[in-house]
Structure 1
Amino acid sequence: MSKSILITGCSTGIGLYCAKTLHKDGYKVIASVRNPEHLNQFEALGIPCILLDLADEQSIREGFDQALSLCNGKLDVLFNNGAYGQPGAVEDLPTEVLRQQFEINFFGWHTLTNLAVKHMRNRGQGRIIQNSSVLGLVALPYRGAYNASKFALEGLTDTLRMELAGTNIQISLIEPGPILSEFRKNARIAFEKHININDSYHKSEYQAQLNRLKAQTAPQKFTLGPEAVYDKLFHAINAPKAKARYYVTFPTYFMGYLKRVLSTAVLDKILLKNK
């Protein structure tokens, strides 16, 4: 019997690619999106898709119940993926905007994960896979809100993994570096909407950030397609013993290594050159 998998954030990018590819590979995929306008593409693909807004607890609970119904009450895997990045210097971030970042990237995931853990405890098995980021390992300037949400996710997930030791529920983190998606486009929208760019001390640096986010081609070296994430996701779903962490892209491997061997001061100098 094929495994059933709930994936959040499937409108574009990693979520869409993984939903389509898992479906093609014979898995029972339940995709989720926040925008009702994105439901139609899944109907054409033959993939069940539900509405699930990670900023709305009622929507999360209703979406999870609907997902369980679609997989006959037997959910095997939750892939938490839906997230966005809010650029801006820490001193320019309105606190409410930081709360919004955490609501979607952290608190919504926590609510959904707890629902899945309860279900999987009752079933005696399951896997929860969190799509984190290299920015959950190291911080970069002007990504403070996103850095903070991913650092928090890493800590919470590590704790959950230890608390579930001895059960048949496996917990994994996937930590991609630059991946081709609409992440930069959505980050630019959030940047221009919430940050007072013209009145900021960082105005000149912000222009470079905007140029990076507006680039039509990937501005970072070593950018990979979403299939690189899928390869790690597939292993986390199917390996008898899933890894606690899966690095994706050279920058993640490189930064993970540097964090282990360098002092904070030296690592800061390197990261500041790549802002």
Structure 2
Amino acid sequence: MQKNILITGCSSGIGLACAAELQGLGYRVLAACRKPQDVERMNALGHTGVLLDLDDPTSVEAAARQVIELTSNRLYGLFNNAGYGVYGALTTISREQMEQQFASNFFGAHQLTMLLLPAMLPHREGRIVMTSSVMGLIATPGRGAYAASKYALEAWSDTLRMELHGSGIHVSLIEPGPIRTHFTSNVSQTQADQPVENPGIAARFTLGPEAVVAKVTAAFSSPRPRLRYPVTLVTVVVRWLKRLLPERVMDKILRG
């Protein structure tokens, strides 16, 4: 039986690349996008397009109902990949902007996952994969809102993994460092005259979306998937530095 996987944020970048790879491996990909024209494009690519705006609870409910209907209530995998960044000093970020950051990166993923679990639990198998970030491990000036949403996603995923223990459903986190996608160009900057930018050295360690695809594929296909999949040397180094260095030293490094 062909296994069904829902991927959010499929219009470009990581989501689009993963959709193509997983479809090639024989999965049926339900490709969720925020814009109707992108949903049509997913259908043209041979996926099953689903309209989904994570900022809108009503849209999430409608998408979940559609997925359950399309899969006859049997979903194998969920890749919560969609999200964006709000960048700027915390003093420039309003409550509304912070809420929108969490709506896209955290609240929507929670709502969607809870609505779809009933299509996974009875079958005693499945994978839930979350796109986190190196910013789910560290926080830096100007990226506080985005990092906070990813820190929340990390804690939420750890809890979900433990609560689903014994259910046959595995939960994994993908933790990319700098990846060549449209993410940076789509960032919402709160200070247009002082935009938050990656340091020049980051370009040396930036990889293409295919680096993430390999880890996502492993998370869905491995008999014993890892809890966390770091992507890029930056994430690997950060994880080790957090273990080895005092917090004040890490602060000094991260301040630049």
Same fold by TM (over 0.5)? yes
Deviation per residue, 1:182-221 (Å, 9 max, x gap): 001100xx21xxx2555xxxxxxx25x36x59x9xx9532
2:235 aligned residue: 252
2:76 aligned residue: 76
Deviation at 1:69, TM superposition (A): 2.2
Which amino acid letter does the alignment assign opposite residue 96 of structure 1? E
* Contact 2:88–2:191 (CA under 8 A) maintained in structure 1: no
Whether 1:124 and 2:124 are equivalent positions in the alignment is: yes
What SS class does the counterpart of residue 221 from structure 1 fall into?
helix
Counterparts of 1:21 and 1:234 in 2: how far apart (Å)? 8
Deviation at 1:123, TM superposition (A): 2.2
1:183 aligned residue: 183
Of 214, 237, 243, the match for 1:231: 214
Deviation at 1:72, TM superposition (A): 2.9
Q: TM-score if structure 2 supplies the norm length?
A: 0.95
1:242 aligned residue: 225
What SS class does the counterpart of residue 220 from structure 1 fall into?
helix
Deviation at 1:37, TM superposition (A): 2.1
Which amino acid letter does the alignment assign opposite residue 141 of structure 1? P
Whether 1:30 and 2:13 are equivalent positions in the alignment is: no
Which amino acid letter does the alignment assign opposite residue 231 of structure 1? A
2:112 aligned residue: 112
RMSD: 1.7
Counterparts of 1:250 and 1:257 in 2: how far apart (Å)? 11
2:205 aligned residue: 222
2:98 aligned residue: 98
In the alignment, structure 1 segments of 5+ residues that lack a partner are 199-205
Moved over 6 A (4+): none
After the TM superposition, which residues 202-217 of structure 1 pair with which residues of structure 2 at under 5 Å, given as runs?
206-207=194-195, 209=196
Which amino acid letter does the alignment assign opposite residue 106 of structure 2? F
* Contact 1:28–1:71 (CA under 8 A) maintained in structure 2: no
Deviation at 1:177, TM superposition (A): 0.4
Counterparts of 2:132 and 2:5 in 1: how far apart (Å)? 18
Deviation at 1:46, TM superposition (A): 1.4
In the alignment, structure 2 segments of 5+ residues that lack a partner are none
* Contact 2:85–2:146 (CA under 8 A) maintained in structure 1: yes
Give me the identity figure in percent: 46
Deviation at 1:267, TM superposition (A): 0.8
Whether 1:4 and 2:4 are equivalent positions in the alignment is: yes
Q: Which has the higher mean CA deviation after the structures are superposed, 35-44 or 233-242?
A: 35-44
* Contact 2:31–2:39 (CA under 8 A) maintained in structure 1: no
Q: 1:196 to 1:181 in 2, by over 3 A?
A: closer
1:49 aligned residue: 49
What SS class does the counterpart of residue 243 from structure 1 fall into?
coil
Which amino acid letter does the alignment assign opposite residue 154 of structure 1? E
1:168 aligned residue: 168
2:249 aligned residue: 266
Which amino acid letter does the alignment assign opposite residue 130 of structure 2? Q
Q: TM-score if structure 1 supplies the norm length?
A: 0.89
Counterparts of 2:41 and 2:231 in 1: how far apart (Å)? 27
Counterparts of 2:206 and 2:158 in 1: how far apart (Å)? 27
Count of aligned pairs: 256
What SS class does the counterpart of residue 138 from structure 1 fall into?
coil
Counterparts of 2:213 and 2:2 in 1: how far apart (Å)? 17
Deviation at 1:272, TM superposition (A): 1.8
Deviation at 1:121, TM superposition (A): 1.6
